[in-house]
Chain A
Amino acid sequence: MVTVRYFGPTRLLSKRSGVRVEAGSIVELLEILAALDQGVTLAALRNSLIFVNGDSIHNLKGFRTKLADGDEVQIFSPMGGG
């Protein structure tokens, strides 16, 4: 099982803070999430900032990053203002 946490506008759209699902990779995970939540489209997910256990997927294998049981995936939108 992978734990997914939504943050920022995605969280408000999905109306939930997170979910636990089975997925072997980021690409697979995003498809599952898009099918699960009405407010969140696959395109929106693919255009999010995605972190696996605190590491940006940009520093891993991008969408091909493999996921293992117990991983936490955090999904953000780019932000500004403070």
Chain B
Amino acid sequence: MATEFGGYMGKVLKINLSDRSVSEYPWTDRDREMYLGGKIMAAKILFDSLASGVRPFAPENLLVVTTGPLTGTGAPMSSRFNISTLSPQTGLIASSNCGGDFGLHLKRAGYDGLVITGKSPGPVWIEIWEDEIKFNDAGDLWGKTTQAAQAMLGGKNGKIVIGPAGENLVKYAGVFSNERTAGRAGAGAVMGSKNLKAVVAGGSRRPLLADESAARKLFKEWSAMLRAHPITGEQLPRLGTAGLVSIMNVRKILATRNFRHGQFNDFEMVSGEMLAEKHLIKNRGCTTCPVQCGRRVEVRGKNVKGPELETLVLLGSNIENNSLERILEWNWLLDELGMDTISAGGTIAFAMELNEKGLWKNGLEFGRTDNLAGIFEDIAYRRGIGADLAEGSRYLSEKYGGKDFAIHSKGLELSAYEPRRAVGQGLGYAVSNRGGCHLNAGYVVLLEGLSMSINPQTTRAKAEMNILFQNLMEAASAAGICLFSLYDFIFPFLLRRPNSLLSRLVNKSMTYLGPSLHVINRLKRSPLPVNLPQLPHPEAVRHVTGMKVDLLALKTIGERGFNLERLINIQRGLTADQDSLPKRLTEEPQDPNDPGTVVPLGKLKKDYYQARGWDSGGRPTEKTLRGLGLTGGK
């Protein structure tokens, strides 16, 4: 189904592993205009194709791998692809974004996306070379770690693989491409359930751009802008995401001891500064990215990928481990075994507290690290207590108790930010479509203490901020661009002059801007194009595809995507009760002397549902759906 638009390859491939059939998934230009690509395109495919009652590990579950129109065009930060499926952790929609180069190669093979269904009778890997699709026996690859499997597959083509954790259906197994991970929500386990070890794609095709010279010029300017911004040009290249540990500690939002505290005495020992001073070999990141926020470090004489912030926290402060060396080793080990470091760390912390409280005697203790490497292997192979740990926190809390301190939302473990001192982030965790994810949450913590200093305890305007960021992130991701590109939304002067009168005024006044943000959130189009110079995303989409979009149009596509994911979740039985956080975060004050240090979730949720145009049960109203062109069912 060819396309009039630039940037796309115009074809989506559907592969059924049960009967090894291959066909084209119908995807029209109208779909491209409505859903753009990436996670929103995947949500539409899942919405249209998944029968009700399908379980995550059923052959009928789909694994939808998608790119955006900017993927592989040379746009900065555009080596991204998305994997969506029904998550074995949440039973709801999961979308996971990855910076490996698979998406780029998938487009070179001639496809904007892959829709994989069915189940192979035995281990298989798929080879896609332009129009030639081969199903290969994966007997010799099965059991291999993620790097070993990729090395065996060889060549320069794009690859996605799973490790032993995915094969053994560890609920939080990820999908790996080079050293990058689509880590969250268990897409690797779904791949394992289909007996699919790997997909390799390649070819010599290139997307045509609607206005090539304008696009190239813009990409150059955009890269320069990213390099000049304090976050994407200075902090991320210098310290990576790991640089946040210290400021999170002073802001009391550093998840510590299974989210009991927001500060860790030994935070400096597991900080980005320590990583940079003691272990950093060099920066590394995704292809075509001027930021290169990834790290290379040395572990046992090997030059390997270094940990991100989330890993430092979930395997550091949150289990009271102060050994950075251990984290580096575990990060490498978990990648090799093929599982998400966030959910692995969160589950271990919960198990430690269950043990401490005598609810489950398992030998795991806060601060004890000598036994954890073995435990991670046990999880991957489901041996001993690893079989239970492989199911995640929600399952453990149902089996052993401790629901009040099982730190997950909808079944997905929370990431690194302790939200009782950043209540907007707390709201985001609760309403996020994929569960306890900081990014799908809207990442309002950026304003509540990382980049800016708005009041982190007030509920004022937090719902509106969440919605704005969630919608923009959906759109950036659908376009095929890294979410970190949106940090440039924050005007550099606010970061370079945080003590100036103007910055302080902006910080003070932002929580009074709820009504204005609400108007912006509701605005779907305007007679004149609306854009922000620091967010060139719409201009890039315009030059690449030829679609007439401005920032409002992109934001509306993002809003459509968020609501579509919500609809899928509602079809899967989601109710407002599941937009929740454990009682530890909503009823147990972080500071026992300050009852205000909880997430006032009831009030925040009410504001959020109203501002989203959802009813009190958290369902998008008919009017909201009509405004987004989502009425009319499948």
Contact = CB atoms under 8 A, between A and B. Distances in A.
Given A49-B247, A81-B487, A82-B309, A9 B234 contact: yes
B236 interface: yes
Nearest to B234: A9
A78 B250 contact: no
Nearest to B486: A80
Contacts of B452: 78
Contacts of B583: none
Given A11-B273, A51-B250, A79-B243, A63 B499 contact: yes
Contacts of A48: 498-499
B394 to A, nearest CB: 23
B244 A81 contact: yes
B499 A77 contact: no
A46 B500 CA distance: 9
Contacts of B272: 8
A10 B453 CA distance: 19
A78 B236 contact: no
Interface hub of B241, B273, B495, B504 (most chain A Cβ within 10 A): B273
Contact of A76 (B246, B309, B497): B246
B399 interface: no
Interface residues of A, number: 26
B230 A82 contact: no
Contacts of A74: 250
B88 to A, nearest CB: 25
A81 B234 contact: no
Nearest to B273: A11
B243 A8 contact: yes
Among A46, A48, A80, chain B packs the most CB atoms within 10 A around the CB of: A80
Interface string A54-81: 1011100011000000000010111111
Interface string A2-46: 000001110110000100000000000000000000000000001
A47 B498 contact: yes
B330 to A, nearest CB: 19
Interface in B231-255: 231-232, 234-236, 238-241, 243-244, 246-247, 250
Given A47-B499, A79-B235, A80-B450, A17 B243 contact: no
Contact of B497 (A17, A47, A57): A47
A81 B250 contact: no
B247 A82 contact: no
B450 A62 contact: no
Contacts of A57: 499
Given A47-B499, A51-B250, A82 B239 contact: no
Nearest to A80: B231
B310 interface: yes
B235 A76 contact: no
A78 B238 contact: no
Interface residues of B, number: 44
A79 B231 contact: yes
Given A9-B235, A78-B451, A78-B452, A62 B250 contact: no
A80 B499 contact: no
Contact of A12 (B239, B250, B495): B239
B230 A78 contact: yes
Contacts of B308: 82
Contacts of B557: none
Nearest to B415: A82
Contacts of A49: 247, 453, 498
B235 A77 contact: yes
A8 B453 contact: no
B453 A58 contact: yes
B205 interface: no
A79 B244 contact: yes
A40 to B, nearest CB: 14
Contacts of B238: 9, 12
A82 B451 contact: no
A46 B310 CA distance: 30
Best-surrounded residue of A8, A51, A58, A78 (most CB of chain B within 10 A)? A78
B387 interface: no
B496 interface: yes
Contacts of A50: 499
A17 B268 contact: yes
B484 interface: yes
Given A7-B246, A8-B243, A58-B504, A81 B484 contact: yes
B268 A47 contact: no
Given A11-B273, A17-B268, A46-B499, A76 B250 contact: yes
Contacts of A58: 453, 499, 504
Contacts of B496: 47
14 contacts: A8-B239, A9-B234, A9-B238, A11-B273, A17-B273, A47-B496, A47-B497, A63-B499, A78-B247, A78-B451, A80-B450, A81-B232, A81-B293, A82-B415
Given A49-B247, A78-B452, A81-B235, 17 more contacts: A7-B246, A7-B273, A8-B235, A8-B247, A8-B272, A9-B234, A12-B276, A46-B499, A47-B496, A47-B498, A63-B499, A76-B246, A77-B234, A78-B230, A80-B236, A81-B240, A82-B308
Interface of A: 7-9, 11-12, 17, 46-51, 54, 56-58, 62-63, 74, 76-82
A-B pairs with the 9 shortest C-beta distances?
Answer: A80-B231, A7-B246, A78-B495, A80-B487, A80-B451, A82-B309, A78-B451, A82-B241, A81-B241
